[in-house]
Structures are given as C-alpha cells and as structure tokens.
Chain A
C-alpha cells in the first residue's frame, strides 16, 4: 500500500534552534517529492525534489532526497516564530504520474 509517513507529528522548539523534519515513503513508480508549509488555509509550496543527493536551499530552509532509502528531510536553521506551521510532505507517483500521497504533516511551534 502506497504511503507517506512524517515524523515527528509535532515539535516545539525555541527561536534560534535548528530542526529536522522527516518524510519517508513507500510508493510505486516514484516521480517526485514535495514539501509544503501550511499556515491558516493554503499550503505554500517549498521544494520539489526528484533527484537523490541534491540539496535544495531557500534561505534558512533546505531539503534533500534519498531515493535509495526512500526518505527526505527538511531542515530549518535559526528558527523564527514565523516558521510555526504545519509542514506537509507529498509524493507524486504512479505509472502516469499525478497520483499524490500526502503525509499528515509535522506541526512545528517556535516559541520566543
């Protein structure tokens, strides 16, 4: 059964800490892995990863994919209160693509 599992489910850190969020998956015909940040209503796209071992960076956020071990990590350095959100991992898979499997998310709370 295709699935995406995120850990931890929730996390509370202090400003300035570094956090690592995990996403593991088991899917048929993997195509890409996507990370989203969800505040309020609409998830915000962060990264799309298709190749193993290539780190993607955007400011204090970075992510990498390991297609051999079937997981991805999202790192956030020097966390700020504005980083508080739910971080969603999704995997695109399937013979014709366009089948998306979402994890339930990691809820991150950054306290001052």
Chain B
C-alpha cells in the first residue's frame, strides 16, 4: 500500500505564473488535507476536502488559491499568479475518515523567483 504521494517534489515558478500541486491519497482514503509550512514556522492548515467536496477552507487565502479533489484523480492545490511570499513547503495528508490519524506526503517545495 503506497503512502501519500505528492508531485512534483520541487517546483520553481516566476512571479505571476501558476503553480499546480498534486496529492494522491493513500488507497482507501477519501479525506485530504493541505498544509503549508513557511520557513521557520510550523504547519498551517489550509483546506480539508472529501471526494468532490470542500469541507473546510478556512485556512486558505481568499484570493489566488483554490483546491479540488475530483471523483477520479489526485487532489490539486492551485495557486494563481504566484508571489514570492508563496514560497513554502506544501504538505498533503490523507485519512480514511474524519478524525482519524492523518498520513502525510513528502511535500512539495515551491520556490517563487
């Protein structure tokens, strides 16, 4: 049973470009969580999704950020018109149901030039 997979592991974008981060949860997991880790800080919750539904997006910036978890395929975190402050490690975690332990992926390191 493969763990949570994220790709790409490293992503470099110039200011104004779009960044797409992918997360494939563990098999049998239908709950996905996205977190951001800024330098020198801990993990910050961004959004919680179930298949085809956004359950809680209270941690996600209102502009430029969006997330989806379609019926088929990975969950996508999309950042439009990236700025330098978006540079961070973005982690995805999955769980089989709400309230269960979350299994974390290796993260995507986004660098905005």
Give the B-binding residues of A (Cβ under 8 A). Answer: 34, 36, 38, 41-45, 86, 88, 90, 98-102, 104-105, 107
Given contacts A98-B89, A100-B37, contact A43 B103 (CB under 8 A): no
Judge whether B56 and A43 touch: CB under 8 Å: no
- Over the window 47-73 of chain B, the binary record of Cβ atoms lying under 8 Å from chain A Cβ atoms (1 yes, 0 no) is 010000000100100000000000000
Which residues of chain B have C-beta atoms less than 8 A from A38's C-beta? Answer: 102
Judge whether B37 and A41 touch: CB under 8 Å: no
Give the A-binding residues of B (Cβ under 8 A). Answer: 9, 33, 35, 37, 41-45, 48, 56, 59, 89, 91, 101-104, 106-107, 109
Cβ-closest chain B residue relative to A10: B101
Out of B35, B45, B101, which one reaches A86, CB within 8 Å?
A: B101
Which residues of chain B have C-beta atoms less than 8 A from A41's C-beta? Answer: 33, 45, 48, 56
Cβ-closest chain A residue relative to B33: A41
Give the dominant DSSP class at A's interface.
strand
Which residues of chain A have C-beta atoms less than 8 A from B43's C-beta? Answer: 36, 42-43, 45
Judge whether B45 and A42 touch: CB under 8 Å: yes
Which residues of chain A have C-beta atoms less than 8 A from B9's C-beta? Answer: 99
CB distance from B56 to the nearest CB of A (A): 7
Given contacts A41-B48, A41-B56, A42-B35, contact A100 B89 (CB under 8 A): yes
Judge whether A100 and B107 touch: CB under 8 Å: yes
Judge whether A34 and B107 touch: CB under 8 Å: no
Judge whether B91 and A100 touch: CB under 8 Å: yes
